[in-house]
Amino acid sequence: MARKLLLEHINVPGINTLEVYRQKGGYRAVEKALKTLTPDEVVEEVKKSGLRGRGGAGFPTGMKWSFLAKPEGVPRYLVCNADESEPGTFKDRYLMTYIPHALIEGMIVASYALGANTSYIYVRGEMMPQIRILEKAIAEAKAAGLLGQKILGTDYSLELYVQPGGGAYICGEETALLESLEGKRGNPRIKPPFPAIAGLYGCPTVVNNVESIAAVVPIINDGGDEYAKIGIGRSTGTKLISASGNLVKPGVYEIELGLPVEEFIYSDEYCGGIANGKRLKATVAGGSSVPILPANLTLKYANGEPRSMSYESLSEGGFATGTMLGSGGFIAFDEDQCIVRNTWNFSRFYHHESCGQCSPCREGTGWLEKILHKIEYGHGTMDDIDLLWDVQRKIEGNTICPLGDAAAWPVASAIRHFREEFEWHIKEPVKSQQQNYGIANYAVPIEKAVEVKQDNL
C-alpha cells in the first residue's frame, strides 16, 4: 500500500468535523508553524519539499511564495483556487467534500507563511454543497480559536472567506479569478504585472490550488526534507489523480509520483484495468487540456521504456510523443471510443468557455469546433484536417491566457496521433456514422528505433 498523506484518514467516519479531524492529528501543522516557526522558515520548508503546483502548470510552490512582493503597509492576500472546472478533474471537490479541514489547515499555515491576514477560497459556483461544507468547517475552526483574532494565543490573526464563483472555466485562470473575486467580469488580466506584485485589489497576492495548499500540512508536520523523499526526481510528494473514463474503478486516487502508468491503470489497488474486458485505446493524462496519447505511448516512451506518473516522465518526448501531468485528470478511452468525437467535445467546451477577450481564442475556438463537428458528422474533406492543424497553430501561444493553448493542444495531439481515424471519418462518411474506428494499432508497442548502419544504405 502506497503512502497516503492527504487521504490517509478519508474513510474515518466524521473526518469532516473538527473534533474527529483533530483526534486524527489535525491542526498539528498550525500549532507547529505558528508557535515554533517564523513565516520565512515555513516558506523554506515548502521550498525544500519541492512541492509543485497541483493546479496544472506544476510551478514550484515555494518559489512562487518567495516571489511575493512585500512592500510596507500594503496587505498581502492568499487566494485558494477551488474553481476546479477542467473536464476530467474532480480531485479538489473530493478533498473539500470529505476533508474540508485539511484545506483550512493548509490555508492557515500558508497565510501565516505569506503574512496574509485575509485569505479567500474561491470556489466554483456550481459546487454549492462544498461551499456550505467549507463554511461550516470555517465556523467550527473559528469557534475553536483556530481562525480569527490571535490564533492559538499567538499574535497572528487570519480571516478566511469562501467566495462562490460565477461558474466559468476561465475563472480558474489566476488573474481572471482575481478579477472575478473583485466583483468584475472574469476576464484574464494582461501580464505583467504578475499577481505576486499586483494581484487582488492591486496588492501582492498568491493564488494556489486546493491540493497545493492542503499538501502544505504534511510538509510542515513531517518537514520538507521528509516530503521530498517521496516521489521521483523533481516530482516530489503525492498527487491526487481523478481517474475517469472506461475504467473498472474510476475515482480519486492518491499516488506517489513516479508510479508506473501501467500499474496505475491495471493494478487492483488503483483503477483495476479497463472496464468490460476491453482494451485501452488512448488516455488523456492530466485533464482535457493536455495532449491525448494513444495507449502505446501512454504506457511506454517512444524508446520502449515504461512511462510513470510524474511531471517529467509524462512530458518525456515533448508534445511529439509525450503529454503533461496537468491537474491530474486521468481519462481512459477504451477501444470503442471515437477520438474525433471526443476532440469535438473538448473543442465545444473550450468554445463555450472562451471569455472573448482576445481574438485568436474568441474566434478560433469556435472555428475549431465547427470544423470538428463537420468531420465528426461525415461532411469533412481532407483539407479540413490541414485547416484544423493550421488554425490550432495560429491560436497556440498567441493568446492572453493559457486557455488558447488548452484549446489548441487536444486538437493538435489528436491529429498528430490519430490522423488515420480523422481520415477514416472523411473517407467513409456513412460507415463512420454507424460504427467505430476501433483500436487499430494504437495499442501495439512501438518498435524500437534501430540505428541504420552506413553499409546497408
Residues in contact with another protein by the rule CB under 8 A: 168, 170, 185, 190, 192, 351-360, 362-367, 370, 387, 390-391, 393-395, 397-400
CB of 201 to another protein, least distance (A): 16
Task: Report the candidate in 322, 300, 325 with the shortest Cα–Cα distance to residue 310.
Answer: 325
Q: Between 172 and 364, whose beta carbon lies closer to another protein? A: 364
Beta-bridge mates of residue 244: 331
Helices (H) and strands (E) in the chain, counts: 19, 13
- The cell for 189 is 488580466
CB of 187 to another protein, least distance (A): 8
Contact between residue 298 and residue 264 where contact means Cβ atoms under 8 Å apart: no
Q: Between 341 and 348, whose beta carbon lies closer to another protein? A: 348
Q: Between 66 and 398, whose beta carbon lies closer to another protein? A: 398
Contact between residue 29 and residue 109 where contact means Cβ atoms under 8 Å apart: yes
CB of 316 to another protein, least distance (A): 20
Which residue shows C-alpha cell 492529528? 25
CB of 370 to another protein, least distance (A): 5
Q: Between 355 and 439, whose beta carbon lies closer to another protein? A: 355
CB of 397 to another protein, least distance (A): 5
CA-CA distance, 174 to 180, in Å (whole number)? Answer: 10
CA-CA distance, 96 to 164, in Å (whole number)? Answer: 14
Q: Between 304 and 397, whose beta carbon lies closer to another protein? A: 397
Q: Between 90 and 367, whose beta carbon lies closer to another protein? A: 367
CB of 437 to another protein, least distance (A): 25
Question: Pairing between strand 77-82 and 118-123?
Answer: parallel
Q: Between 40 and 383, whose beta carbon lies closer to another protein? A: 383
CA distance readout (Å), 315 to 115, 192, 415: 35, 27, 18
Q: Between 170 and 415, whose beta carbon lies closer to another protein? A: 170
CB of 345 to another protein, least distance (A): 16
Task: Report the candidate in 37, 28, 32, 56 with the shortest Cα–Cα distance to residue 327.
Answer: 56
CA distance readout (Å), 421 to 352, 366, 438: 25, 22, 9
CB of 355 to another protein, least distance (A): 6
CB of 73 to another protein, least distance (A): 24
H or E element, residue 293: strand 292-294
Q: Between 197 and 443, whose beta carbon lies closer to another protein? A: 197
CB of 332 to another protein, least distance (A): 29
Which residue shows C-alpha cell 521521483? 232
Q: Between 306 and 397, whose beta carbon lies closer to another protein? A: 397
CB of 20 to another protein, least distance (A): 42
Give the neighbor-by-neighbor strand order of the sheet with 329-334. Answer: 251-256, 238-245, 329-334, 280-284, 292-294
CA distance readout (Å), 47 to 3, 9, 226: 21, 26, 12
Cβ neighbors of 84 (< 8 A, separation 6 or more) are 90, 91, 92, 93, 124, 127, 172, 210, 327
CA-CA distance, 131 to 277, in Å (whole number)? Answer: 39
Largest CA distance in the chain: 81
Write phi, then psi, for 217 (nearest 5 degrees).
-60, -55
Q: Between 295 and 407, whose beta carbon lies closer to another protein? A: 407
> Within 10 Å of residue 386's Cβ, how many Cβ atoms?
11
Task: Report the candidate in 100, 142, 148 with the shortest Cα–Cα distance to residue 123.
Answer: 100
Cβ neighbors of 38 (< 8 A, separation 6 or more) are none
Q: Between 65 and 169, whose beta carbon lies closer to another protein? A: 169
CA-CA distance, 197 to 194, in Å (whole number)? Answer: 6
CB of 206 to another protein, least distance (A): 23
- The cell for 196 is 505576486
